């Protein structure tokens, strides 16, 4: 029962299951992840990886609540590198479905097959299975009809799955990803060394060709990725994808910074596209604010805003002279060595700085910024658990409630063309 309650928090829909299983596969060092679903995942979800696999005893424990092999000391939660660390996902998933785990450790003589139904282990058998792990989840929410009723059409659930998987694929070009729906292959992206190649696989050559590589660092915050050229615009803001520490996140500070970077460059009602990867020093970001872990809290949102804004501005400025071909992140890394400071005074940089300063000033003076700070101090003082202590501020947003509403809006239907989508219109 406790697991079913927890499941409601973590598992909203088939895409949440795919997310948890794929993150586990990535944590296990998989180089190939194949996802196969039936009926939008309502009938069946299979995630197969070629990662480390599990020893039999570990596999038996994996479905217990708080069974995690990834967290050794409590302090580690602050600087955790793996996606998982709560040990809740498999417990939750297996409590609301029929789950089968087939797993074999590397070079082990034999593997294991475990069947779990509504949280009860039915059988544990030796099995001749390939190295790695294959998890099959059937009859999702069969025991929780109220939840099952909320699932949308197979097509919609599939779009959510595809959407999330493509976002994950963008961050991990060295891993091969595929998605199959029934008998139809939705996509198959082989592993590639060049992140720009993965962008082309995921977004298509045309769309990728409309992007400029960007790279910058400020206040210890590193920003890399791609942004759309100044002359390009899109009808919705959901083409703005952001990642923190390799995790897909949704965050209003990041979205605001992207939109402000294009201020006055795009026609009214049109939006830029962006794929942005942020790396922050440990302690500067809390990814632990929500079990789904798509929200983050920055200790210093103003610095994040400024780093993103400056990086994009610089890329747009450089892009005016650049050829139309896609520049990869690799190219930029070498460019960057010769000019480590991203805010350069020369070569048109003064216009960049002027615009940047203007946006920063406007951002600092935004309504609610003072209230946000005083709220922050209060909540820091009152914090009783470490999550609140680490989560310091959500600049521009009034508070957590705001962030929740924002996330809820982001749950709108994804794009029908299977491209990454999901970010809400910035109000
Ligand atoms: N695909 C996989 N390959 C290897 N080990 C796995 C895999 N999936 C789950 N596990 C093991 O099961 C444990 C529980 O998984 P999960 O419930 O997602 O918790 P968490 O990821 O937070 O540790 C993991 O810590 C890991 O040891
Ligand atoms: Mg996990």
How does residue 45 score in pLDDT terms, banded at 50, 70 and 90?
A: very high
Return the ligand 1 atom nearest residue 85 CA.
Answer: 22
Cβ atoms of 407 and 250 closer than 8 Å: yes
> Does the pLDDT value for residue 352 go beyond 70?
no
Distance 84 CA to ligand 2 centre (A): 4
> Which SS3 state, helix, strand or coil, does residue 230 take?
coil
β-sheet bridge partners, residue 37: 45, 181
Distance 138 CA to ligand 1 centre (A): 18
> Does the pLDDT value for residue 215 go beyond 90?
yes
Distance 309 CA to ligand 1 centre (A): 37
Q: Which ligand is nearest to the CA of 76?
A: 1
For the chain, the structural domain boundaries read 2-189, 204-409
Residue nearest to atom 6 of ligand 1 (CA): 24
Q: Which of 26, 27, 31, 112 to mutate to test the pocket of ligand 1 (most atoms within 8 A of CB)?
A: 27
Name 147's Cβ contacts closer than 8 Å, sequence gap at least 6. 8, 96, 141
pLDDT tens figures, 69-84: 665 554 554 445 566 5
Least confident of 169-173, 318-322, 386-390: 386-390
> Residue 292: what pLDDT?
60
Cβ atoms of 129 and 108 closer than 8 Å: no
> Does the pLDDT value for residue 133 go beyond 50?
yes
Find, among 387, 339, 39, the residue nearest to 217 by Cα: 339
Find, among 65, 123, 71, 129, the residue nearest to 94 by Cα: 65
Pocket of ligand 1 (CB under 6 A): 20, 24-25, 28, 49, 51-54, 58, 62, 67-70, 84-91, 133
- DSSP notation for 95-129: HSSEEEEEEE-TT-S-EEEEEEETTEEEEEEEE--
Residue nearest to atom 4 of ligand 1 (CA): 53
CA distances 232 to 121, 203, 339, Å, are 54, 15, 27
To the nearest whole number, what is the mean pLDDT of the chain?
Answer: 77
CA 191 to chain centre: 19
Residue nearest to atom 19 of ligand 1 (CA): 87
Residues with CB under 5 A from ligand 2 (ion): 24, 84, 89
Cβ atoms of 140 and 31 closer than 8 Å: no
> Residue by residue, what is the 3-state secondary structure of 137-177?
EECCCCCCHHHHCCCCCHHHHHHHHHHHHHHHHHHCCCCEE
* Fold of the domain built from segment(s) 2-189: Heat Shock Protein 90 (3.30.565)
Residues 156, 387: Cα–Cα separation, whole Å: 33
Distance 379 CA to ligand 1 centre (A): 33
How does residue 378 score in pLDDT terms, banded at 50, 70 and 90?
A: very low
Find, among 246, 262, 174, 254, the residue nearest to 212 by Cα: 262
Structure token digits, residue 308: 């993103």
Distance 369 CA to ligand 1 centre (A): 40
* Fold of the domain built from segment(s) 204-409: Ribosomal Protein S5; domain 2 (3.30.230)
Distance 19 CA to ligand 2 centre (A): 9
HSE-up of 366 (CA within 13 Å, CB side)? 20
> Residue 71: what pLDDT?
52
Find, among 300, 295, 296, the residue nearest to 219 by Cα: 300
Q: Which of 23, 28, 90 to mutate to test the pocket of ligand 1 (most atoms within 8 A of CB)?
A: 90
E strand or H helix at 133: strand 132-138
> Does the pLDDT value for residue 345 go beyond 80?
no
């Amino acid at each position: 029962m406790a697991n079913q309650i927890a499941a409601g928090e973590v598992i909203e829909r088939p895409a949440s299951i795919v997310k948890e299983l794929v993150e586990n596969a990535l944590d296990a060092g998989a180089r190939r992840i194949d996802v196969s679903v039936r009926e939008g995942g309502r009938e069946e979800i299979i995630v197969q990886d070629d990662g480390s696999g599990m020893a039999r005893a570990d596999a038996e424990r994996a479905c217990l609540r708080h069974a995690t092999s990834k967290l050794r000391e409590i302090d580690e939660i602050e600087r955790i590198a793996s996606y998982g660390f709560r040990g809740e996902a498999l417990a939750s998933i297996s409590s609301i479905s029929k789950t089968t785990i087939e797993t074999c450790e590397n070079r082990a003589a034999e593997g294991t097959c475990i069947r779990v139904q509504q949280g009860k282990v039915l059988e544990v058998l030796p099995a001749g299975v390939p190295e790695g792990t294959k998890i099959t989840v059937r009859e999702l929410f069969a025991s929780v009809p109220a939840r099952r009723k909320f699932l949308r059409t197979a097509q919609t659930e599939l779009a959510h799955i595809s959407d999330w998987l493509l976002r994950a694929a963008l961050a991990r070009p060295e891993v091969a990803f595929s998605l199959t729906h029934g008998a139809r292959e939705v996509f198959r992206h082989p592993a590639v060394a060049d992140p720009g190649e993965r962008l082309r696989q995921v977004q298509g050559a045309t769309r990728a060709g409309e992007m400029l590589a960007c790279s910058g660092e400020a206040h210890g915050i590193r920003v890399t990725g791609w942004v759309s050229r100044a002359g390009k615009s899109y009808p919705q803001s959901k083409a703005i994808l952001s990642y923190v520490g390799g995790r897909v996140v949704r965050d209003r500070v990041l979205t605001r910074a992207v939109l402000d970077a294009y201020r006055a460059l795009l026609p009214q009602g049109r939006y830029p596209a962006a794929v942005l990867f942020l790396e922050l020093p440990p302690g500067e970001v809390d990814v632990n604010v929500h079990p789904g872990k798509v929200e983050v809290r920055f200790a210093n949102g103003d610095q994040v805003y400024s780093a993103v804004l400056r990086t994009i501005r610089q890329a747009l400025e450089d892009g005016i002279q650049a050829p139309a071909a896609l520049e990869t992140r690799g190219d930029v890394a070498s460019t960057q060595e010769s000019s480590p400071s991203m805010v350069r005074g020369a070569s048109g940089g003064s216009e960049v700085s002027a615009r940047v300063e203007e946006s920063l000033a406007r951002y600092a003076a935004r309504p609610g910024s003072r209230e946000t700070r005083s709220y922050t101090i209060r909540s820091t003082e009152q914090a009783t658990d470490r999550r609140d202590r680490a989560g310091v501020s959500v600049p521009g947003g009034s508070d957590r409630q705001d962030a929740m509403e924002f996330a809820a809006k982001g749950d709108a239907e994804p794009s029908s063309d299977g491209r990454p989508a999901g970010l809400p219109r910035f109000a």
